[in-house]
Structure 1
């Protein structure tokens, strides 16, 4: 099996990716930054992107092969690279979290705080496949291994836990990273030895090494198996509690909320149940039913929302409860929009006008040095793209000149640049609540003998009217912002 393997070529590829370098450091920082941002936003896609560019698999593979070869130089090189990269990733992600306004614990963060036996098995199977692909020259499979065996996201979660002072999260994430790291290293060593990477060992040495490997996996597997059993037990308890509630209150009842704290003794259960008034129960009776089902004592807080008999009434109460939750979500969403708009426009949060019913937010922007109307328009567009379902309006500072509108030489048709300038002028007119603009050279109706400037003015006037803005000829002596119309100049102002 090992005769067809290019041992020197494989080791060259392993050594190339296993050591410390400027590229390795840069990719570590970039991967850590992407990972922590994905965790804070609870975005699986962003977290997967961090896994794809993470360079940590290189030194771990290097460590596995060096163990098989008893190559202490490569072993030291890989360990140093991995240790420095881990410390760099944790420190950088902690800094990002400290500077970030978002510090809430998301589902993506919590998913990396409770390693279990399945995580070990995933890491082992993936590492065996990845090492096989590396030895057989099919390196593209490493991409899948990088996704399956999360290395950077747990380190980013450790940084998050340290930054917010939650050492339970940091410890759980560190345990997940350690599980994946050790499993990949040992699996790579096993596969490397199977393909002839390593010294000839006596039968006694082989048995000793086998025993050490089995012992290492058992040391990790036992606590991870206990963790998996605990997760399964909690899922069963939640199902049993919900079953007792549904049975006790009848088919017309609804369990609106169920929270269980498994860390206290006895376990604490809080439930919100919407039920017919005739099905009201004393909490003591309900607690006894749950204890009988679970076979252990519980601490129960049951909030009963009692309504008149009839499923319609219960559905109405459920709808009211759902509506209250939605209102709370809208309040939190509105607060985030106010914060984002205030930062973007350089305004105070109190200056942001928020209409939750119409889902519209408006604020006046502070003057930015050198910023044109187009810059403020692009700023508004960027903010609006980050907020789905809301209408966003940033009012530019008063007194800015409307953008010059240029036509192609000898033409009365707007080109792309002219259309952009005109649409920006229309946008500013709406933000300033102007109802009309004066257009120089405007003579209507346009005759067949009209000059080029008159045809250009008519084209602008038509575009204004399409956007419900009144276009009127410029009055002598009227001051305003100048608009370039080809070779002619036009003066615009409010009416």
Structure 2
């Protein structure tokens, strides 16, 4: 049942069909072990807790693996609206799961099982897991992380809400007062801990919605009541935010682009980049003509975007020494990734400089060049020095850049103390700590390695030569 539910869910998500997704919710068997977990927590029945957790983990792993296989075999891999809707959990998702869990627990206790179907639809446990499988198959970490957070939110909320209602109806009445207080405090802390980040997420979503509404109203006001804002896309992930829209308006209401952007910046009180395509109509133009012009404008806009993508792909391909077909384009985030071909005499610094030049030439696109695998640069210290000079600092930063491009999350630093630093570290340890501290500022995890080993980073050398 888990595999069939997961299969229906992922196909509904890929087709962006809410009806199919609802069908997956109806047959999802994950509700029972989650509620079982809640009752076992109320009773302090740890054997039942273990059984419920095994069922949940097993079902989740099977669902994720099965959906990932379906996505890998599917010709449709583009993220749909149904997929994206399950990647940003917020406080409302927690409240939906809370009310659904209370209803489900009440139905079980009072013998009104017919409402479980409605609860299963409301909590939507299987679709988030299907999105996790989609994110794993496409290696889209933001989608995977967001959908997994939504599943965990629903799981924790349902289980703990079931615990609360079970205690309210007298389950676990034999518990001591200390157990009851400990249980209540843990439940409160978990709910508060989940509510805070979800509340921030909801606030951000609300802010983005208000911003989009302000932008649409501003454009409608500037172009007059006879105008129409047909397309409006706002990319909040870029800095500054990018606003792109298409406005159909009378020819007499044409606006200067610079003035529009200044006015919008003053209204929102934040920097932004505005791109508005103005479709200006002559007096007496009918609705059919306006729609035809709108379609032509949309087609032209798509063609222009495709042309821009092609230019960027060729630019990056030439610089990286590869075919344009080997360049990965992320249109939604304006990100280009390319694995560079080995260039004679090129070092990591060469590829990093190439990436910087590409970013300068690609304007609004973010270019990431993945260099060929090679040894990390050596980090040299002057005699008796334990601080990083300019050359050593550059070598460490280059190592961090290469590690990120190779998706390496941790680097081994020879000589780094294992655990807390000693009260009086020796010269080798002080040098290793200097390297590790700079790597941490770049988001790289560091681990200790023997001084004699040549692992990820070159060993910190003692010696007379600088």
Do structure 1's residue 28 and structure 2's residue 2 form an aligned pair? yes
> How many angstroms does 1:314 deviate by?
7.7
Contact residue 279 and residue 294 of structure 2 kept, 8 A: no
What TM-score does the superposition give when structure 2 sets the normalisation length? Answer: 0.62
Which residue does the alignment assign to 2:166? 192
Where 1:31 maps in the other structure, the secondary structure is helix
RMSD: 2.0
1:322 equivalent to 2:295? Answer: yes
The 5-angstrom pairing of residues 139-178 of structure 1 reads: 139-178=113-152
Q: How many residues align?
A: 302
Q: Return the offset for 1:103.
A: 1.4
1:162 and 1:170 in contact (8 A); partners too:
yes
Matched, 1:100 2:74: yes
Query: Which residue of structure 2 aligns with residue 67 of structure 1?
Result: 41
5 Å-filtered alignment, 1:244-393, equals 244-308=218-282, 310=283, 312=285, 316-322=289-295
Q: CA deviation at 1:204?
A: 4.2
**Offset at 1:262?**
0.8
Is contact 2:279–2:293 with CA below 8 Å preserved after alignment?
no
Cα contact 1:307–1:313 (8 A) shared by 2? no
The equivalent residue for 1:181 is 155
Contact in 2 for aligned 1:274/1:318 (Cα 8 Å): no
2:27 matched residue in structure 1: 53
> 1:387-466, aligned counterparts within 5 Å?
none
Q: In 2, distance between residues paired with 1:89 and 1:95?
A: 10
Q: Unpaired runs of 5+ in structure 2?
A: 303-466
Shift of the 176–240 alpha-carbon distance from structure 1 to 2, 3 Å rule, reads same
> Structure 1 residues 127, 201: CA separation in 2 closer, same or farther (over 3 Å shift)?
same
> Hey, what does 2:206 align to over in structure 1?
232
Given that residues 279 and 297 in structure 2 are in contact (C-alpha distance below 8 angstroms), is that contact kept between their aligned partners in structure 1? Answer: no
2:86 is aligned, of 64, 87, 112, to: 112
Distance 1:208 1:75 in 2: 17
Deviation readout 1:26-53 (Å, 9 max, x if unpaired): x010100011111111111111111111
Q: 2:248·2:294 contact (CA, 8 Å) conserved in 1?
A: no
Provide, for residues 161-190 of structure 1, a one-character-per-residue CA deviation record: whole Å limited to 9, x for no partner.
111121111111101100000000001111
Matched, 1:81 2:55: yes
The offset of 1:199, in angstroms, is 4.8
State the Cα distance separating 1:279 from its structure 2 match.
2.4
Over residues 113-167 of structure 1, what are the superposed CA-to-partner deviations in whole Å (9 max), with x where a residue is unaligned? Answer: 1111111111111111111110111112111111110100000011111111211
CA deviation after TM superposition for structure 1 residue 311, in Å: 5.0
Which position in structure 2 is the counterpart of 1:217?
A: 191
Q: Which has the larger radius of gyration?
A: 1
Shifted more, 189-198 versus 73-82: the winner is: 189-198
Q: In structure 2, what is the equivalent of residue 402 of structure 1?
A: none
Q: 2:233 touches 2:244 (CA, 8 Å); kept in 1?
A: yes
The SS at the match of 1:171 is: helix
TM-score, with length taken from structure 1: 0.58
Question: Unpaired segments of 5 or more residues in structure 1?
Answer: 1-26, 330-495
SS at match of 1:312: coil
**Any conservation in 2 of the 1:275–1:314 contact (CA below 8 Å)?**
no
Q: Secondary structure at the match of 2:78?
A: coil
